[in-house]
Structure 1
């Protein structure tokens, strides 16, 4: 986040009750979920994190920490070898047996809902701030997000939009694993936040993308993770997806690509990336 927030957080941290700081500094934390990791860091507790999962890619320093893996790959032994005091994880991120084993050894495990909307962003910031007994820091971080959201809203309000272009999110893991994001996912939420509209999808969650569906949706823009585009071999590799070359998005080279955590995490930078998307479309 912005430098002025870091300065204010530093001042607040310096003025916090000594007992509260001492309690926080005793905890060795493992985070499981990139958005949780990012918010914990932005709240000023990043130095307490001793390990993360592979989705925790921001800030860059988190990549240097030991990794516990990803979802079903995460094992109790690997976590316990790092001797954490607490695990802060997304809901349903860890296998139930892993959670039971961790709790049986006395390791604290706390779960938080992963945001899928801007409302979820504010809720997670507040929940983590409460956990750390750092409500004032949470309010400041939330205000920074609100400021970014205000900038986004001002930009969109200044545009003369007769009809919002359509944008479709495609998740690719190679040409044989291509999915489309449906209603009530981060994909439709970030599309709406950015001032665009989703095609009439009629399904929830993620489903395999078929040539017939792609032809039916025929979006003006296609949105992808940078890792997904890389798995296809770049923009030229999009031709491997049947029906792609017939879409308006491909024909007009209106393919938008962003970092996975930035785009899907709905963390503190969510309004920033929404503004980037909006400017790519409307400027």
Structure 2
């Protein structure tokens, strides 16, 4: 008689072969089809709420750091945070033609020719930004170093800090704050209202009779960085909106991100793994994920149940949040997402 370990290995090989041929007809322990499902948006570019609105300047706003900043010129905007949120918001307000610098996370096609001032993903270069001659810099504390942001201020450039927290509830306020700083408050209200409507419509797509799936967000960059999300990660907010239960939080994690251990994953017992596409690919896809300690001992691991989405979109919590939720709902529950 084959050992239990051998049987599990055989099941994993059969599932991997089925996935490779596009067969995902099995079902998971909770929601949607087994195997990997990539959630995609109809368009990666945000839809501007207005075309080239004329900012009403000057304006003075109080940044999240408590500093009052006066903006007199928005003709050359640099937007930089860890998630791409600020760049996305500027573009969706109709001011995309004024962007002269962006962060790495802002990957949508409409801004791919805009210089990336955070090539390492997390660090800004004062020299690179100064060479762009910006008239205003939008940023937050998710990116740095702070000394660079202060150096820009010392050079006479208005630098506005925004709330670095990314939650579903914070999306409308973040949009309005950016719009106010750029002198287009009316466009900010219109964009915030549109985004709220889209979020509400996407949340309504959750099947009423669905058993809430336990979903674990895994953040990975190769096998050297493997993290399990907990409360305050941002992913917990998305998971809740999708009608799911954040597995990391439910298992008792207290940090936003905790290094993955087999004990932590087994305790979380997720039905589904939620991941960024590049992160999943960086470990070798489904096959590589199966080698992470503890994965095979979870319902999600046994079913190879993974929902992934483009890195620059998943946790951006900007004007495309409703589209993100709609796509994730379709991938998670196997339902139409219109």
State the TM bucket, normalised to the shorter chain. Answer: 0.7 to 0.9
Separation in 2 of the partners of 1:236 and 1:18?
Answer: 54
Do the aligned residues in 2 keep the contact of 1:218 with 1:247 (CA within 8 Å)? yes
Q: Which consecutive residues of structure 2, in runs of 5 or more, have no partner in the other structure?
A: 1-42, 59-70
Partner residue of 1:232?
Answer: 283
Shift of 1:111: 0.8
Separation in 1 of the partners of 2:139 and 2:232?
Answer: 22
Runs of 4+ with deviation above 4 angstroms = 16-20, 23-26
| Cα separation, partners in 2 of 1:126 and 1:136, compared to 1, 3 Å | same
Separation in 2 of the partners of 1:65 and 1:84?
Answer: 13
Shift of 1:2: 11
Do the aligned residues in 1 keep the contact of 2:203 with 2:325 (CA within 8 Å)? no
Separation in 2 of the partners of 1:78 and 1:248?
Answer: 47
Do the aligned residues in 2 keep the contact of 1:114 with 1:124 (CA within 8 Å)? no
Partner residue of 2:309?
Answer: 258
| Cα separation, partners in 2 of 1:204 and 1:2, compared to 1, 3 Å | closer
Are 2:90 and 1:49 equivalent residues in the alignment? no
Partner residue of 2:117?
Answer: 68
Are 2:254 and 1:183 equivalent residues in the alignment? no
Partner residue of 2:327?
Answer: 276
Separation in 2 of the partners of 1:259 and 1:210?
Answer: 25
More displaced stretch, 247-256 vs 212-221: 247-256
| Cα separation, partners in 2 of 1:192 and 1:103, compared to 1, 3 Å | same
Cα-to-partner distance string for 1:7-47 (whole Å, 9 max, x where unaligned): x623x93xx58888xx9876211110210000000001111
| Cα separation, partners in 2 of 1:139 and 1:26, compared to 1, 3 Å | closer
SS at structure 2 position matched to 1:179: strand
Are 2:184 and 1:134 equivalent residues in the alignment? yes
Do the aligned residues in 2 keep the contact of 1:171 with 1:224 (CA within 8 Å)? yes
Separation in 2 of the partners of 1:64 and 1:135?
Answer: 27
Separation in 2 of the partners of 1:220 and 1:41?
Answer: 36
Do the aligned residues in 1 keep the contact of 2:123 with 2:143 (CA within 8 Å)? no
Separation in 2 of the partners of 1:174 and 1:19?
Answer: 46
Partner residue of 2:265?
Answer: 214
Separation in 2 of the partners of 1:230 and 1:150?
Answer: 31
Do the aligned residues in 2 keep the contact of 1:115 with 1:266 (CA within 8 Å)? no
Highest RCO, 1 vs 2 (Cα 8 Å, sep ≥ 6): 2
TM score, norm. by length of structure 2: 0.74
Cα-to-partner distance string for 1:109-149 (whole Å, 9 max, x where unaligned): 11111342122111111101111221221121112212212
* CA radius of gyration, larger in: 2
RMSD between aligned residues = 2.5
Do the aligned residues in 1 keep the contact of 2:231 with 2:256 (CA within 8 Å)? yes
What does 1:92-103 align with in structure 2 at a 5 Å threshold? 92-103=142-153
Separation in 1 of the partners of 2:123 and 2:332?
Answer: 38
Are 2:223 and 1:171 equivalent residues in the alignment? no
Q: 2:209 aligns with which of 160, 172, 193?
A: 160
Separation in 2 of the partners of 1:240 and 1:2?
Answer: 32
Partner residue of 2:196?
Answer: 146
SS at structure 2 position matched to 1:235: helix
Separation in 1 of the partners of 2:55 and 2:271?
Answer: 53
Aligned length: 273
Q: Which consecutive residues of structure 1, in runs of 5 or more, have no partner in the other structure?
A: none
| Cα separation, partners in 2 of 1:18 and 1:217, compared to 1, 3 Å | closer
SS at structure 2 position matched to 1:68: coil
Give the helix-richer structure, 1 or 2.
1
